[in-house]
Amino acid sequence: MSNNYKYNKSYLLEHTDKGLDVIKRLFPDASEVGNKKFKISDEDTASANIIPASYNSGESVIVKDFSSGESYDCFALVELVEPTVQNFADACKWIAKEFNLSGEDVQFNTAKLKVVEATEEEQPGDCEFVYNDKLTTYELSILGPLVTNETVATFNLKSCKSFSRVLQFKGHHKYGNKKMKFINSSTDTYPILVFDNETWQKIYQPLNEKKQYRFSYAGDKPENYVFGLEDLVENFEQWQFENSTEENEDPLHKHIIIGSGDRDSINISSLGYPVVWLNSETAKLDYKTFETLSSMTENLCYCGDLDATGVRETIKLSLSFIQIKIIWLPEWLKNLNYRGKSQKDVTDYCKAVYKKESPDLLKNQFKKLVSTALPSQFWIVKQKSDGTFNGYEFDNEACYRFLQYNGYHRYQEDTERDDFSFIHIENGIIERKKTHEVSNFPIEYLRSTSKPISLLNYVHRTGQLTEKKLATLKHFKTDFKNAGPNFQRYFFENEIWTVTPTEITKQRYQDLQDVYVWKDHILPHNVSISKNKIFDITENEEGTFNVNINVKNNHFLNYLINTSRVHWKDLGEKPYSKEISQLNIKDPDYYKKKNNILAKRKQYRLDNKFNIAETKLPKDKQDEQKRHLVSKIYAIGYLLHQHKVKSKAWAVIAMDHKISEIGQSNGGTGKSITIEDGVTQILRSNYTIDGKKKDVEKDNHLYGSITKHTDYLALADGNSRFDYESLFNRITGPFAVNPKGSPGFNIPFEDSPKIGITTNHAIYDANASMLRRLLFILYSDYYHYKGEDYLDDHSVRDDFDKDLFADFTDSEWSDFFNFCMQALQFFLSTDNKIQAPLNNVNKRNALQTIGATFRDWADQFFINNLNKDIVKDEAYEDLLEYYKKIKIKSPSKTIFKKKLKGWCDYKGYEFNPIDVCNNGNRIIRTGNIEEIHVRGNLPTQESIANDPANDLDI
């Protein structure tokens, strides 16, 4: 391939999808061919569209600008947008470099570099500059549309042909111990500009791709240098002489503007204003400089950038020097973008407003911005004609800006459509404030800064700080989005944690921009990120999970382990109960032997206190317990991820693993510690509903206190007949809210709370639509109350000698949060829904649906009727007789069949096997008689002994 291939049009189009990649790089808002319109110029309505390559003889896609009628291929667009590109060859170079299509270095947007060995006379640190006579038209255009050579001469800004620097090396891999001279030369398309201050220079390479290398220095730069100040002071007396009148012998500049940087300040100067600027946007203005500037002007102003850093620094300056008037660039500027970056500064503004045919338009528009500049000082000192004090005047707009700069805003409440509240924001933390707290702040400021009592009394008496007047404060609006598809932020007292699938990082509040949190959502703990991986989860090809517990003393994880040990009795209870049952109570040593057995049981339980996989437990049962644990970790991670996804929209439902009699409530297994206590330690904006109340879901105002800021809804102790279908739309769609005394409204799906449910009961009439919206986690009976099935109580406190959360130390809180964040990481890194093994859930749900009476009838009826064709009507008649005897209303024939299917599911039987059906899933015999067939094996002594329900009152 020739060295010139990078200039080959066809090659470039072939490797940029016919130019489409170039267009999308220049205009990130551009979509695929033929889709939505986007802007390629400063216009109110997007009117450009991408036209297929077939429109252009198949060679390249083009952009059609319907507002102007012009069409552009990718090369023409690069010329239109990129200031460094002057012709087609430049456009080819730009594309080749931008998409890495060059086989050699393209010297475009870089200086020419020459390295030679320094002479004996040249010393390390020596710099030499060779200047052109003046800036070229191209160099001036880079600076700004109205910038001239006269403008830059004021600031000693020169066009540099080349500059050199001498460096001494020691043991360098290339230069050894030599003294080398590096010579950087500008090109026609890569300017080098220098602020030459005789004893030192500031070198400006505006087109350097690496922003950190755009500025460099030579010589000894003075500390806290203010550009333009020396010239302004030196020429002030001459300016006064030239502008004095009989009425004003010693005039002041109408405005002096402090700019935010070199190029922006030069643009301000080109608009006709005296300007100075500090060496960087974050450099501090000292009081002496402030006094010097104030002595020369009627209005000292500052014009900063519109990005987060610029706004923050502008407000800092305004509150440090409350007399300085702030010029704010218009908000619409941020809506313009260049290659995906919002426009933000004076230079961007000048280029956006400038029209070649009417340059005065730009000056007039900027003049309007200057005329609306106001200080933070919210009072005006009035003077008589002789200059003596004549009282104060309250500046409403300045006061509202003063309050805004100090973090006070108006906020529209969700549940009060026609009302608002006041808030205060500091370092992204938002707190609601009463009216009097806002109105008192200016008074407190005056007191803290020792302002005159006469001013304090004046402000006390003013009527400009009432709620009605303060309603004009700027409205604050944000989406509070602290989560995305692959991240979640959590806010603690001392720092912010950001969780991604691969890492957990911390940030300081003052370092994050455009990130907000309600103060009452901050977790009241000082924490530190653990360096340890608390657990590892892997999954094999068969879908079996393995869990390695790396940290053994994490209380919350250990509690989850024990609630997942659904087979804990196999080795920790049954063997010892069997030994005790075989003792002879008449034996004189009965109690001694029994106590010895109980001591062995206690020791075994201590040895395996938090063991998810006891050595002698069969592997299939170990795997089952591990999946129970993994499902809990996954569910906790799901609830803590506040980004909502339609395909992962579930309510987490915590149930007992133990199968119990219909209507019987087990409880005490620790479900609420996860769903009601644990999750709410992190999701501070939560709301709990008592689900025990009958027909609670029929309360029209049940969810009336939910807002878009509610992160979590906990339904505690759902009753046996709770209508889970009432939650369907709230789980997968907008969340309907009907507050008392206010109009109802919908919270959009993406802002609605996640839902956790605890219940001691199975789900009545469970169906596929319902189950699809639920994420099950099951709790073993390791924690239980003493009763028919248990010899003693065993609570969570017994395992830890403390109540979880209530008795946590600081380090245990940190352990808890680290576990939860790692659970969140696991969820973020997992695509598939993971829930508990559902065999017992299905049995419990089936039992709840069929009812105890039907179950008793079926258990008796099918002792002699398994594996037989039975006339459906005859079986139904037998059922009616059974219900009649015990005086209970019998089910309809349709419900009979539904309950029978449920009973088969519960027993593990097959209803109407496909091989005996002759009419779909039905059995129809001669005479149109419908029969039923239940296939299964009668229980044996062994199957009864191994049935988990055998432990449990069934």
Based on the number of CB atoms within 10 Å of its own CB, is 801 exposed (0-12), middle (13-18) or buried (19 or more)? exposed
- Of the pLDDT bands very low, low, confident and very high (cuts 50, 70, 90), residue 6 is very low
Q: Are 47 and 66 in contact (CB under 8 A)?
A: yes
Tokens describing residue 691: 């689900």
Residue-wise pLDDT tens digits, 316-336:
999 999 999 999 999 999 888
> What is the structure's pLDDT at 5?
42
- Of the pLDDT bands very low, low, confident and very high (cuts 50, 70, 90), residue 837 is confident
Contacts of 869 (CB under 8 A, 6+ apart): 916, 923, 925, 931, 932, 933
Q: Residue 838 pLDDT more than 80?
A: no
Tokens describing residue 393: 């005047």
Q: Can you tell me the mean pLDDT for 561-572?
A: 94
d(CA 862, CA 900): 11
Q: Given strand 408-412, what is the order of strands in its sheet?
A: 408-412, 420-426, 429-433, 517-518
Q: Can you tell me the mean pLDDT for 88-97?
A: 84
d(CA 169, CA 180): 8
> What is the structure's pLDDT at 717?
86
> What is the structure's pLDDT at 721?
77
Residue-wise pLDDT tens digits, 138-167:
999 999 999 999 999 999 999 999 999 999
Please name the residue ranges forming H helices in 118-209: 137-143, 149-153
Q: Residue 381 pLDDT more than 50?
A: yes
Q: Residue 360 pLDDT more than 50?
A: yes
- Of the pLDDT bands very low, low, confident and very high (cuts 50, 70, 90), residue 764 is low
Q: Are 482 and 517 in contact (CB under 8 A)?
A: yes
> What is the structure's pLDDT at 948?
46
Contacts of 720 (CB under 8 A, 6+ apart): 662, 663, 761, 762, 764, 848
Q: Can you tell me the mean pLDDT for 210-230?
A: 88
> What is the structure's pLDDT at 665?
47
Q: Can you tell me the mean pLDDT for 707-719?
A: 90
Which of 441, 630, 618, 442 has its CA nearest to residue 535?
A: 630
- Using CA atoms of 326, 329, 332, 336 in order, give the dihedral in degrees to the nearest 10: -140
Average pLDDT, the chain: 88
Q: Which residue has the tokens 């509903």?
A: 689
Q: Can you tell me the mean pLDDT for 34-58?
A: 70
